[in-house]
Amino acid sequence: MPKTTTILGQYPETRLRRNRRDDWSRRMVRETILSVDDLIWPIFIREDGTEGEVPSMPGARRLTVTEVVEAAREAENIGIPAIALFPYTNPDKKCAEGKEALNSDNLICQAIRAIKKACPSLGVIADVALDPYTSHGHDGVLRGYHVANDESVEILCQQALVQAEAGVDIISPSDMMDGRIGALRKALDGKGFEHVRLMSYAAKYASGFYGPFRDAVGSKGNLAGASKATYQMDPGNTDEALREVALDIQEGADMVIVKPGLPYLDIVRRVKDSFNVPIFAYQISGEYAMIKAAAQNGWLDHDRVMLETLLAFKRAGCSGIWTYFALEAAKILTAD
């Protein structure tokens, strides 16, 4: 039989499609694997009697402390390693100084204690930042028109200690104040909490994708359109992200986060190539909302796109992903 030829001559002996021919061979040579171990589930906490629905985040609800314990049990049973907690603070508990963040019986501390009692093997992560608690919606205290860095860091250290005393496993500072990782590490170690890990939002950008999250925690109205560009990173900068990550590692961060996620995969890759530490990305509320909205309109296959985006984080170099899709993805990944 004559050999098949094309205008370019004979076909090459190397055919990359051979390994794509069957499902079993595609699985056998797959370079990047997504598993339930890669997922962190962010959850919003509310007081009894307050609204649970978040219209801009279909499928994501604010949960009461009782409800979040049930969610934690579901996460633990399906194999999700950790959940991250964010409070919806009632307006009457907010003030310019964010004092509710230091209340040892605030929503986050109640939730931490309840979850660790019910699910001791589930990791619990808590945010350190003042934006859910301040009447102006900023991540630190305002002095004039600017967020005061060093004074804010002192308050954040107190907030971290309150959460550590409640039993949190990981503190994840999202405030982007200079020097806060070193200060937090010193404060925690000084009080005997050297086991509490620091997962730093090391490269957090001043992004337009945060809107639905601010709806969920009730800070959008307080912020009233004000910018966080004086402390969150400029979206045009990449070298600066490496400086931020290097400083946080030097100051004692155990793990680092890049936020937002998909629009900043180049940052994930650069961090991965430069530092030998666990790197996480946060698939944030705006990313989640866009996929949900497109799927609801029939424009995208929800599950396929959800899993494809999560795989993209792993392919870029992430150790894991913070995602509101965590439970949905885990159910698919663990299905028999």
Set 204, 220, 228, 314: catalytic member = 204
Q: What pLDDT does 7 receive?
A: 59
Mean pLDDT by runs of 10 across the 336 residues of the chain is: 58 86 93 97 93 91 96 98 96 94 97 98 97 94 94 98 98 97 98 98 95 84 83 97 98 97 97 96 96 97 98 97 98 92
Q: What pLDDT does 223 receive?
A: 78
Q: What pLDDT does 200 receive?
A: 97
Q: What pLDDT does 12 receive?
A: 76
CATH of 34-333 among 1.10.10.60, 3.30.590.20, 3.20.20.70, 1.20.1270.30: 3.20.20.70
Catalytic, 259? Answer yes
Q: What pLDDT does 335 receive?
A: 93
Q: What pLDDT does 3 receive?
A: 55
Beta bridge partners, 257, equal 201, 280
Catalytic, 3? Answer no
Q: What pLDDT does 215 receive?
A: 86
Q: What pLDDT does 221 receive?
A: 74
Q: What pLDDT does 8 receive?
A: 60
Q: What pLDDT does 220 receive?
A: 73
Set 94, 259, 292, 314: catalytic member = 259
**Strands 320-323, 39-45: pairing kind:** parallel
What are the boundaries of each domain within the chain? 34-333
